[in-house]
Amino acid sequence: MPNSRFTKSLPSQHIGSKMCAQFDLYRAGSLFKQISLDQATLTKLAEMDRLILQHEKELCRLKRSRNGLLPAGRLPAEVLARIIGLAWAECARSEPNFLVAVTHICGQWRDVVLDMPTLWSRIGLKNPQHFRGVVQRAGKLPLTVVGHIDRHEEHAVDAAVTALRRLHRIRGLELYMGLRYTKRLAMLKNQEAGKLESLTLSRLYYRDDEGRALSWIQKLSFPRLQALNIRNFQLSTCKALLLPSLRSLSILAESGASSTDSALLLSLLRNLPLLENLELHDAVNRYSEATTQQQLRSREKVHAVKMYHLKHLFLRGELSSSSMLLSNLKLPADANIHVVFDSVPCRTRSYDPYTEFPLAEMLQPLTTLANNISAPGCPKKVVFTTDSGSPSFENVMVWPSPNTQPLGWLKVSVQVWQHSQESQDALDMVVRNLAPAGLQHLQVEARMPSEDWRRRFLHLQNVTRLSVAGADDPFLDAMSAIGDTAPMANSQLDVNTTHAGQDAVLFPHLQSLRLEEDSPELYPAEFSHRLSSMLGSRKAKGSPIGQLDVRGVKEWPELDVALLKEAVDTLTLRPPAVIHLSPATKEILHTDVPQSVTADNDEQDVFERGASEPDDNSEEDEDEDFW
């Protein structure tokens, strides 16, 4: 070590005398006097500290100004609150600390989040300390608890135990069961969940211990339960939750093991007289005994389930099992119904218990529903659309034309495979069942070959109003009197028309044609020439179109415009449509007035002895308290 005055003043590794200690203190004092700061230096340091603080404040101001110029900083407070509320509703289970993280983004976001107790009334299960801190932010609002429960997630289970001690405040409960069953919830005492109105129970579809996983739920009574969502649980396990007070029921089955027999499902629905919203996602078992199938289809010894209060019905499944369920439901005329057929009976399937029932018989319930939504003498409107994606669906929607009566609508979606003739046959049959020969108003928002246009819509001889989005060359060929008129290829359709020859005109009584763009691409000038040729051919054939309205026109040649005016009586050319955004509402999560709740001074003892201990010998969590 270099020899210096500083090193000599360091204590040595021996026990010195009192004289040595005094000498060391003297040397240290003289050394510190040499490095001590004088008044001028202290003044200079204070000035530097003041400048640093001033620059830090200026830097903070510049950062806030910069954040205000960004898109996120320009959002109005009510729009920002709406966005955060929607995101929080989706990620509460997987990101329980989401709201705390949002408060760290910027001051504006922090103020918006902290000023909204309704956001904090939805609580994710993270740990007990986090739960208690969020409850304070929620004030006295009713709580909605969302979380993932698994024996290996000790902190989440501890948070669930803490949450259930406030069962008297919980209005909504959304629980997702993990792979490992926890015994601590089974120690819950028998009690009443007096405030609970919404209950969601979900699990992974390959779990087989659903009885033990829901053993604790049997100890609770729900006098005010109105909404029940079940995912991958058999209805036989949750039968006690199907209370007459239910107004909303959603059942999702990702595997055939959790689906329900049609007869059992009908018997359970019969005991839900107040049901307003019903969603069945692959919940109907497609395999049933032959005798049960025949009884349900012919309604022998089976009375239809009357659901007079139903407003919304969503049914997704296979065509055969879904039609069997629909044939035994009696729905009101003002109900909104959406039926999705994932697959249809296939001729090459090795085992299909529904092959004895023809396709027309399976689709008969749809015809009955379509007839019920329209009052006698009230015209109907049919909309044909396509959902792009994988898999793709073709949609047929029916609702009454402008009418003073509050009637509902029917939407049927069919999954169409490119090389499946069965799915094409089913789609064509759906179109014919929902679009009767007397239809006057048709709207098509799908691109298809000209032969599909003629095969699906040639029977519609009385259509007077037609709206098409994204008209293309195949559409013009199908509409032209001299265009492509290939014969129909669907062997199962019983086309009861005498004008199905190659010289037949599609929609011969059409009076009004409206063309709209379905993308930012406009109708080019070449399209106007082909359009005028199509209109001229129809006029020469004796089927002219009186009114033509085209939206998506920028610049068309004057000669083509003149030809269009000669072919129709009234011509309207419009520029592209302008998209208008509707103003966001200020309400975020709850639309009703918060109910009065019990003061949250103490947690209630709702568990038996031992429930506060973890399943395994895990240590107490030491997560920091964020507030």
The whole-number pLDDT of residue 623 equals: 38
Confidence of residue 15 (pLDDT cuts 50, 70, 90): low
Model pTM score: 0.75
Taking 70 as the threshold, does the pLDDT of residue 257 lie above it? no
DSSP string for residues in 548-613: EEEES-S---HHHHHHHHHH-SEEEEE-PPPP-PPPPPS--S--SPPPP----SS----B-TTTTS
CA 466 to centroid of chain Cα atoms: 31
Q: Are strands 409-415 and 393-400 parallel, antiparallel or unpaired?
A: antiparallel
Q: Residue 74's pLDDT is what?
A: 80
Q: What is the 3-state secondary structure (H, E, C) of 140-174?
A: CCCEEEEEEECCCCHHHHHHHHHHHCCHHHEEEEE
User: Averaged over 498-522, what is the pLDDT?
Assistant: 76
Q: How far apart are CA 446 and CA 35, in angstroms?
A: 86
Mean pLDDT computed over every residue of the chain: 78
Greater pLDDT, 349 or 66: 66
The whole-angstrom separation of Cα 145 and Cα 172 is 6
Q: Round to whole Å and give the CA distance between 204 and 454.
A: 46
Q: Quick check: 336 pLDDT over 80?
A: yes
> How big is the chain, counted in residues?
627
Per residue in 138-162, pLDDT (tens digit) is: 988 999 999 888 777 778 888 888 8
Q: Say if residue 431's pLDDT is above 70.
A: yes
What pLDDT is stored for residue 44 in this prediction? 93
Which residue in the block uniquely carries the two structure tokens 């001729």? 347
User: If pLDDT is split at 50, 70 and 90, which confidence band does 199 have?
Assistant: very high
- Close Cβ partners of 398 (under 8 Å, ≥ 6 residues apart): 370, 373, 374, 380, 381, 382, 383, 409, 410, 411, 434, 435
DSSP run (H or E) holding 422: helix 421-434
Outline where DSSP puts E strands in 288-392: 305-306, 312-317, 329-330, 336-341, 380-387
